Each structure stands twice: as structure tokens, then as C-alpha cells.
Amino acid sequence: MQNTYMNSGGLFINDRKEKENHPDYTGKITVDKAGMYYIKGWKRSTKNGQPMLSLAADYAPEDKQPAEFQGEGSGNSGIGGGATPNEPTPPVNDESPF
């Protein structure tokens, strides 16, 4: 089982890229609350030698957050604009090959 670290993730070469507008890299990031994050990345290789970007995220200071995220506190989790259960989730890019 792979460890999951809060406010971190990885981008891997998209081996399912079929069209020019598909992303070159895909991956996941786990964050502890909705809002704006500063991200940074390091060039790494997977155990199989494939190139990847290792990511880390830092929650931006409260005064730098967009108005919709200011004062939310750490109880709101997830990505996608801070949608609540009664609010629709933003649409997913249909051009993604997966």
C-alpha cells in the first residue's frame, strides 16, 4: 500500500495521451481543505525509471485566498471549488482520455 501525505501528490507522464489537447502529465494531489495553494515540484523517477514530478502544496495565507475561500477553516475538504453536498460539482474535462 502506498503512503498518502497531506498536501502532496505526483504528476506522471500521460501514457494514454491520444490528442494534442490531452495533458502531458496526469496525477493526483491530496489537500486538507479547499482554497488556493502554492505548489512546487521536483523531477523524480518512478521505481520503473519513468520520469515524474513530485509535488508539494502549501495553503496560501488567508489574505491571499480568493473571497470564496476566506474564513473557511480546515473543516472543508476536497478539490473542486469547495462544493458542498447541496452544490453541484464543477464539470470534468471531457477531453481527458480516462
Kindly state the DSSP code that residue 87 receives in the 8-state scheme. S
Q: Rounded CA gap, 52 and 46, in Å?
A: 7
pLDDT mean for each 10 residues of the chain (98 residues): 76 92 89 89 91 90 88 49 41 45
Domain ranges of the chain: 8-61
Report how far residue 67's alpha carbon sits from residue 24's, in angstroms, rounded to the nearest whole number. Answer: 31
d(CA 29, CA 10): 7
Q: Residue 95: its pLDDT value, please?
A: 53
Compute the residue count for the chain.
Answer: 98
What pLDDT score does 31 carry? 87
